[in-house]
Structure 1
Amino acid sequence: MNKDRMKIIFGAVLFASAWACAEGGVRTALFVAAYLLCGAEVLLKSVRHILRGDFLDENFLMALATAGAFAIGEYPEAAAVMLFYQTGEFFMDWAQDRSRRCVRALMDLKPQQVRVQEGGEWKEVAPEQVAAGTIFLVKPGERVPLDGVVLQGRAWTDASALTGESLPVEVSAGAEVLSGVISLDGALHMRALRPYAGSAVARILELVENAAAKKTPTERFITRFARYYTPVVVIAAVLCAVLPPLLVPQAQLKDWVYRALVFLVISCPCALVLSVPMGFFGGIGAAARRGVLLKGSGSLEALAHGEMMVFDKTGTLTTGHFAVSGIYPEEGFSAGKLLEWAAYAESTSNHPIAAAVCKAYGQGIDHARLGDVCEQAGCGVSVQVDGRKVFAGGAGGMGAEFKAPAGAQGTAVFVRVDGKYAGYITLSDQLKPDTPRAVAELKRAGFAKVVMLTGDRKSAAQAVAQQAGVDEFYAGLLPADKVARVEQLLKEKTPGRTLLFAGDGINDAPVLARADAGIAMGALGSDAAVEAADVVLTDDNPAKIPQAVRLSRFTLRVVKQNIWFSLGVKAVVLALGAAGVANLWEAVFADVGVSVLAVLNSLRPLAYKD
């Protein structure tokens, strides 16, 4: 950009010097010098495009218009066209650079080296050379280079580059940390969970780098429009120059040629061709800064047109981890003792429900108190605790005569002590803290229906649906059933609007691919889900979805503003130029001014505040 700036400065000096000179050869030479300095690149591009047979673009229009201006002796205006054109291009390049900055900032996430342990020493190697399971070290102030689990150390971490959230999070031994996170104040010894190619940073960079390559229907329309628009205006300009002198008495050829040149300068479609894709790119960059990765501008447009939102349950609306939600002892038994017996029984199992019960107990298990362990597949566990026979499990293991209490909603662990029913403990998959807010905001954003699909039992699904505030839920669904249900919902939506689906598991991949826009939970979601989705949330927070929808709608409004503003101004000035009211100076200001204003307007998504 420094080179372009100097070119404009010297061109302006030559142009001003020419104006200061009296009429004559020196004045003309200075105008020609200013023209060539500012316009040489345009002329060369025009010649190259003509040789390739692809010449109907803005470079051809500018070259043709200024050559015509020289032919009729309008040297100042020809030089002014190129000078102002280059000035406009400079501001547009500056604006483009601003729109790319937040995306380029993501490139800083990529680690240059990883400090690994070899032979008792720390050695720096390229991240691509590190295998899963390798021990590596992260020092205070450094980014975590690979997805890993903390083996030793404690530190406050900054994950804002990944998630958009500024609050630091404390991690210690056992915590999983994604690559790109910064260790603020402590050294961490970590074990790599996966190679660099599968890390969070690598996937983010790949998604962002590929995003700009995919065009939306709006962008494809602009490309087709420019392809037909340019030859039409060239033909119109030729007819404007030739027909009036032939058909209208006293019409001067020079006057109509001048009007045709004005017509050509105004007709350059730069504002549309540059500002529309830049507007989408600005929206993609702003979303990435907030932890929402869009795989292309088509994904942004699909979000903006969202009418129905469909969620998977486990891992999407909920955390995917069981926790004890209630303890209900029978008469003669205390809640504490009921939980203790259940924990001792479940300590012999590796089932997720068993782990949740033991976690709720919160005390160490004294295995010396245990004896005669007997696990009944699919029913529960029977053990001896302090000489007493304890059973913990499902209703099926309690005996044929047992009837589960009506209040035992969700997943329940029933406890029997020495053959006597002692009570039950309920467990549930915990709702994510931001889930109700996300659903409420989607409804406020105009979504006609918010639906939940799950393979879980109806009782568990109903509890989550009520807490989340969704409009409808469907339980007990296999992956094929989810696809069939989404197919039905797609038939119900308004034409031109979209259905969005958010999920995280391998079983969600078919539905993510079938929806108009699939949204994957990127931090905890499976590779298959991330691959099939159009949008990836880096921190699995469902509240990011309504934020992304609002940003997408704002971006689309900016793009449409640019389209209508550019076409409207050009239509007015084209008519004035053909009528002889607008001269070449006004044509230049109209073309360059509209382009600069449209491109600057495209920067607004980068400054969007939700």
Structure 2
Amino acid sequence: MTQIQLAGIDCAACATKIETNVKKLPQVQDCAVNFATQKLSYELTGDQAATAFELALQQLLTTIEPDVTIQKSLPAAGQTPPKKFKFNLDLIRIIISGLLLLGSYVLPLSQPLLISLLLVAFVLIGYDIIWTAIRNILHGQWFDENFLMTVATIGAFGIGEYAEAVGVMLFYQVGEYFQSLAINRSRDSIASLVAIKPTFANLQTSQGLQQVAPEAVPVGATILIKPGEKVPLDGTVIAGSSFVDTAAVTGESVPRSFNVGDTLLSGSINQSGLLTLQVTKPYANSTVAKILDLVENASSQKAPTENFITRFAKIYTPIVVGFAVLLAVVPPLFLGQPFSDWLYRALIFLVISCPCALVISIPLGFFAGIGTASKNGILVKGSNYLEALNDVRTVVFDKTGTLTQGSFTVTAIHAVDHQPEHLLALAALAEQHSTHPIAQSIIAANQAPLNQTLSAVTEVAGHGVSATLDGQSLKVGKASWLKEQGLTPLTPTEVGTAVHIAYGTDYLGYLVISDQLKKDAATAIAQLKKVGIRQTMMLTGDNDAIAKQVSQSLGIDHYQSELLPQDKVATLASLTDNRAQNGKVAFVGDGINDTPVLARADVGVAMGGLGSDAAIEAADIVLMSDEPTKLATAIDIARFTRKIVWQNIAFALIVKAIFLLLGAFGIATMWEAVFADVGVTLIAILNALRIMRKSN
């Protein structure tokens, strides 16, 4: 999608209104407005011109949200359009209006002067709200907070409650000011997480070292990273050693030592030594580019609670306006009550009924939850996935690269009538083009030169590699696969992954490859059970002996072994079909063959450091440090976020219900109404910001 940078989106409701109206434009096929980054992503139908769309968008914004403007250029990653002047102007208006209101109480003024003073204060502090309400009414948009505040305060002026009218508008603006500060604080927090985009790379060329844009560096090129510089691209260290701060990428607070042969991720910061890096991915596919995309677009996927609040506000506001009208009209007409008293009560009712606390604090809460997860090296692709974590009761793991390190070594070679070195060389020859960790371990163990040429090389998913060598078939893979070819593989006596080799019609023997458990794997399973996960399961294509050993050593409840990718999908489908027993199901994996399972799970979780690009694309949540314990952290953050969100919902509704009753019975005044609106909103916002302070 193409992106346009907007400015002036001060609340999630504003973003939703813009998105809804832009989708109605005839040339728009799809669009999304990101409240966090104030970016509008759009896709046009057919060959529509972008310039024509921008003109239509500008006209639309002028109609529905004149304070929102189109920026001429996208800001750098992690930056938001400056609003300092607007903040200062609003603060000046608040201070002057507050002094004028105070003067009306302490200065000995005549009634005409008193009214004039308060009228000046009212116009100064409320002109923008009144104008917005009038403009919205002219465009058929009646029931919003601007309309409620305008009717309530002008009505208060009409019945002689001058000071209260100014006070309501003043404190409403105070609430709006602090709301803007809170939103921008949370935006700045997100910005600090994504402000990791490198601006240059030191490229080694035949003419010497040149400083170029990261996007211009090709795969295979050599770059230098000096102390204090950001790592611009993913690559392998080919010279030098240094401590590198990876906090922005993986969430690890302690710098790690990197040496020759280590994989270094873009977005990290080199701290001490000079590093020479061979680039392994173009910038568009680099870790830093993926992080920027994931974090900046996370808030476009709304949680069910957010969608509910948006729908609730649309229904709630017209209903309370109707009640206010009835409150002002029915008692005077049918009960002979004084009209001014009941009009005053109706105006109080309107002020109290503003749904600001809900429509502001709920999206802000999820926004803060996504930001907190990002600070912990957990990228959540949308608040809907963050909320879904709350209902996960079953967690299913892949084994290799997820619970184990994925760094294999050949630990045994059993050859039949051949030298072990010859068997290893044949296996390495077949696996030389594979990127699978097991294949890489075989290639690394082989010392013999690979001078022979293979033809018809085919990787059979879940089975092994088939090729032709000197006119004979060479097969390297699972025992079950060779049995299908009419061969009789040996049964390994060691615990590990057995890779069997056959040439022509002869079975030549097998290799044993072993993997090590991740240091925090057992802790991860224990933590998941502690946070309420009812069952854990491991699905693996490895043999039963290894699967059983890993499962027992980690305390996993169930396991299934020797599975093909389609078998994993079928097993997961059976779990998700039984919601009553299993709840929502999360799957944690890292490989290409895990992609279908990640997509099928209720919540797909990918390992981001060593994980494949396909797995990261298919997942809903990415653990950047490859630590399985981060899943329990993510669940903890999700639950704390939901707790705060529902605290705000309950608090706002209960307080408003109480004060609506008090206002209807004439007990509450405009000042109590201000607390029920502005006070509740501020408390809800501050409560939502507690999420950003959560640490694990």
TM-score by length of 1: 0.87
The higher radius of gyration belongs to: 1
Alignment of 1:433-472 (within 5 A): 433-472=519-558
Displacement of 1:318 after TM fit?
A: 1.6
Q: Which residue of 2 aligns with 1:133?
A: 220
Name the SS for the 2:515 alignment partner: strand
Aligned-partner Cα distance in 1 for 2:206–2:448: 39
Name the SS for the 2:407 alignment partner: strand
Would the aligned equivalents of 1:102 and 1:289 in 2 still touch at CA under 8 Å?
Answer: no
Alignment of 1:286-305 (within 5 A): 286-305=372-391
Instruction: Sort the Cα spacing of 1:221 and 1:357 in 2 relative to 1 into closer, same or farther, 3 A.
Output: closer
Is structure 2 residue 147 aligned with structure 1 residue 69? no
Name the SS for the 1:519 alignment partner: strand
Is structure 2 residue 561 aligned with structure 1 residue 483? no
Alignment of 1:65-144 (within 5 A): 65-144=152-231
| Amino acid paired to 1:94 | L
Would the aligned equivalents of 2:489 and 2:500 in 1 still touch at CA under 8 Å?
Answer: no
Aligned-partner Cα distance in 1 for 2:131–2:674: 20
Q: Say which of 292, 296, 304 aligns to 1:205.
A: 292
Aligned-partner Cα distance in 2 for 1:354–1:269: 59
Instruction: Sort the Cα spacing of 1:290 and 1:310 in 2 relative to 1 into closer, same or farther, 3 A.
Output: same
Displacement of 1:39 after TM fit?
A: 1.1
Would the aligned equivalents of 1:453 and 1:474 in 2 still touch at CA under 8 Å?
Answer: yes
Q: Which residue of 1 aligns with 2:104?
A: 18
Aligned-partner Cα distance in 2 for 1:501–1:186: 39
Displacement of 1:69 after TM fit?
A: 0.7
Aligned-partner Cα distance in 2 for 1:215–1:394: 44
Give per-residue Cα distances to partners, 1:174-203, cap 9 Å, x unaligned: 221000111110111212211111111110
Moved more, 44-53 or 430-439: 44-53
| Structure 1 gaps, min length 5 | 329-340, 380-391, 416-422
Q: Which residue of 2 aligns with 1:609?
A: 695
Q: Say which of 424, 429, 453 aligns to 1:346.
A: 424
Give per-residue Cα distances to partners, 1:544-589, cap 9 Å, x unaligned: 0001001100110000000000000000000000000001111012
Q: Which residue of 1 aligns with 2:33?
A: none
Q: Say which of 550, 572, 578 aligns to 1:492.
A: 578
Instruction: Sort the Cα spacing of 1:62 and 1:247 in 2 relative to 1 into closer, same or farther, 3 A.
Output: same
Aligned-partner Cα distance in 2 for 1:531–1:393: 28
Give per-residue Cα distances to partners, 1:52-74, cap 9 Å, x unaligned: 21221111100110111111111
Aligned-partner Cα distance in 2 for 1:402–1:118: 52
Q: Which residue of 2 aligns with 1:387?
A: none
Displacement of 1:543 after TM fit?
A: 0.8
Aligned-partner Cα distance in 1 for 2:166–2:478: 87
- The number of aligned residues is 570
Name the SS for the 1:279 alignment partner: helix
Give per-residue Cα distances to partners, 1:447-504, cap 9 Å, x unaligned: 1111111222222222222222211111222222211111110122338942111111
Would the aligned equivalents of 1:453 and 1:482 in 2 still touch at CA under 8 Å?
Answer: yes
Would the aligned equivalents of 1:465 and 1:473 in 2 still touch at CA under 8 Å?
Answer: yes
Aligned-partner Cα distance in 2 for 1:495–1:226: 35
Aligned-partner Cα distance in 2 for 1:412–1:506: 21
Q: Say which of 217, 233, 247 aligns to 2:320.
A: 233
Name the SS for the 1:141 alignment partner: coil
Give per-residue Cα distances to partners, 1:507-529, cap 9 Å, x unaligned: 21221111111111122222221
Would the aligned equivalents of 1:92 and 1:600 in 2 still touch at CA under 8 Å?
Answer: no
| Amino acid paired to 2:283 | Y
Aligned-partner Cα distance in 1 for 2:353–2:546: 63
Quote the RMSD (CA, aligned, Å): 3.1
Q: Which residue of 1 aligns with 2:81?
A: none
Q: Which residue of 1 aligns with 2:92?
A: 6
Is structure 2 residue 37 aligned with structure 1 residue 37? no
Aligned-partner Cα distance in 1 for 2:488–2:163: 102
Displacement of 1:429 after TM fit?
A: 2.1
Q: Say which of 173, 190, 207 aligns to 2:277.
A: 190
Would the aligned equivalents of 2:413 and 2:420 in 1 still touch at CA under 8 Å?
Answer: no
Q: Which residue of 2 aligns with 1:320?
A: 406
Alignment of 1:175-574 (within 5 A): 175-249=262-336, 251-323=337-409, 346=424, 350=428, 356=441, 404=491, 407-411=493-497, 426-494=512-580, 497-574=583-660
Is structure 2 residue 135 aligned with structure 1 residue 57? no
Identity of aligned residues (%): 48
| Structure 2 gaps, min length 5 | 1-86, 432-436, 458-463, 466-475, 502-508
Aligned-partner Cα distance in 1 for 2:440–2:93: 70
Would the aligned equivalents of 1:343 and 1:354 in 2 still touch at CA under 8 Å?
Answer: no
Name the SS for the 1:231 alignment partner: helix
Name the SS for the 1:68 alignment partner: helix
Would the aligned equivalents of 1:305 and 1:496 in 2 still touch at CA under 8 Å?
Answer: no
Name the SS for the 2:408 alignment partner: strand
Aligned-partner Cα distance in 2 for 1:527–1:403: 36
Would the aligned equivalents of 1:158 and 1:184 in 2 still touch at CA under 8 Å?
Answer: yes
Moved more, 593-602 or 518-527: 518-527
Displacement of 1:34 after TM fit?
A: 1.5
Give per-residue Cα distances to partners, 1:22-55, cap 9 Å, x unaligned: 2322221221121122212211221222122122
Name the SS for the 1:293 alignment partner: strand
Give per-residue Cα distances to partners, 1:259-302, cap 9 Å, x unaligned: 00000000000000000000000100000000000111001001
- Larger RCO (CA within 8 A; separation ≥ 6): 1
Would the aligned equivalents of 1:428 and 1:460 in 2 still touch at CA under 8 Å?
Answer: no
Aligned-partner Cα distance in 2 for 1:600–1:124: 45
Name the SS for the 1:602 alignment partner: helix
Instruction: Sort the Cα spacing of 1:180 and 1:595 in 2 relative to 1 into closer, same or farther, 3 A.
Output: same
Would the aligned equivalents of 2:239 and 2:275 in 1 still touch at CA under 8 Å?
Answer: yes
Instruction: Sort the Cα spacing of 1:327 and 1:476 in 2 relative to 1 into closer, same or farther, 3 A.
Output: closer
Alignment of 1:148-163 (within 5 A): 148-163=235-250
Aligned-partner Cα distance in 1 for 2:390–2:323: 37
Would the aligned equivalents of 2:225 and 2:275 in 1 still touch at CA under 8 Å?
Answer: yes
Displacement of 1:357 after TM fit?
A: 7.5
Name the SS for the 1:165 alignment partner: coil
Instruction: Sort the Cα spacing of 1:101 and 1:494 in 2 relative to 1 into closer, same or farther, 3 A.
Output: farther
Is structure 2 residue 579 aligned with structure 1 residue 579? no
Aligned-partner Cα distance in 2 for 1:228–1:414: 66
Would the aligned equivalents of 2:194 and 2:291 in 1 still touch at CA under 8 Å?
Answer: no
Displacement of 1:315 after TM fit?
A: 1.6
Aligned-partner Cα distance in 2 for 1:39–1:235: 24
Would the aligned equivalents of 1:61 and 1:265 in 2 still touch at CA under 8 Å?
Answer: yes
Moved more, 270-279 or 520-529: 520-529
Would the aligned equivalents of 1:146 and 1:196 in 2 still touch at CA under 8 Å?
Answer: yes
Displacement of 1:343 after TM fit?
A: 6.5
Instruction: Sort the Cα spacing of 1:468 and 1:523 in 2 relative to 1 into closer, same or farther, 3 A.
Output: same
TM-score by length of 2: 0.76
Aligned-partner Cα distance in 1 for 2:94–2:211: 47
Instruction: Sort the Cα spacing of 1:564 and 1:514 in 2 relative to 1 into closer, same or farther, 3 A.
Output: same
| Amino acid paired to 2:694 | Y
| Amino acid paired to 2:529 | K
Would the aligned equivalents of 1:307 and 1:446 in 2 still touch at CA under 8 Å?
Answer: yes
Displacement of 1:98 after TM fit?
A: 2.4
Aligned-partner Cα distance in 2 for 1:402–1:586: 83
Would the aligned equivalents of 2:251 and 2:624 in 1 still touch at CA under 8 Å?
Answer: no
| Amino acid paired to 2:94 | I
